[in-house]
Structure 1
Amino acid sequence: MATAEMPDHDRATHMFEGTGTVIAIDITAGKIGLDHGPVPALKWPAMRMAFKVGDDIDLSQFKKGDQVQFTLHKVEKGAYPIVELCEASGLEVVPRLCAPDGDQMPMPNTSGN
Structure 2
Amino acid sequence: MKTIVSAFVFSASLALLPGVTMADSHGMDGHQGMHGDQADGHMMNGQHQQMMRKVDGMGTVNKVMGDHHMINVTHEPIEAMGWPTMRMNFKTDQSVDLGSLKEGDQVRFVMEVDENNNYRIIEIEKQ
Q: Highest Rg: 1 or 2?
A: 2
TM range (shorter): 0.5 to 0.7
> 1:106: which partner in 2?
none
Unaligned runs of 5+ in 2: 1-51
1:67-86 to 2 correspondences below 5 Å: 67-77=106-116, 79-86=118-125
Q: Does 1:33 align with 2:72?
A: yes
Q: How big is the shift at 1:50? A: 0.2
Residue of structure 1 aligned with 2:61, choices 8, 22, 42: 22
1:1-113 to 2 correspondences below 5 Å: 14-77=53-116, 79-88=118-127
Structure that is richer in helix per residue: 2
Structure 2 CA distance, aligned partners of 1:75 and 1:85? 18
Q: How big is the shift at 1:79? A: 3.3
TM-score normalised according to structure 1 size: 0.63
Unaligned runs of 5+ in 1: 1-12, 89-113
Moved more, 61-70 or 71-80: 71-80
- State the superposition RMSD in angstroms: 1.5
Q: How many residues were matched structurally?
A: 76
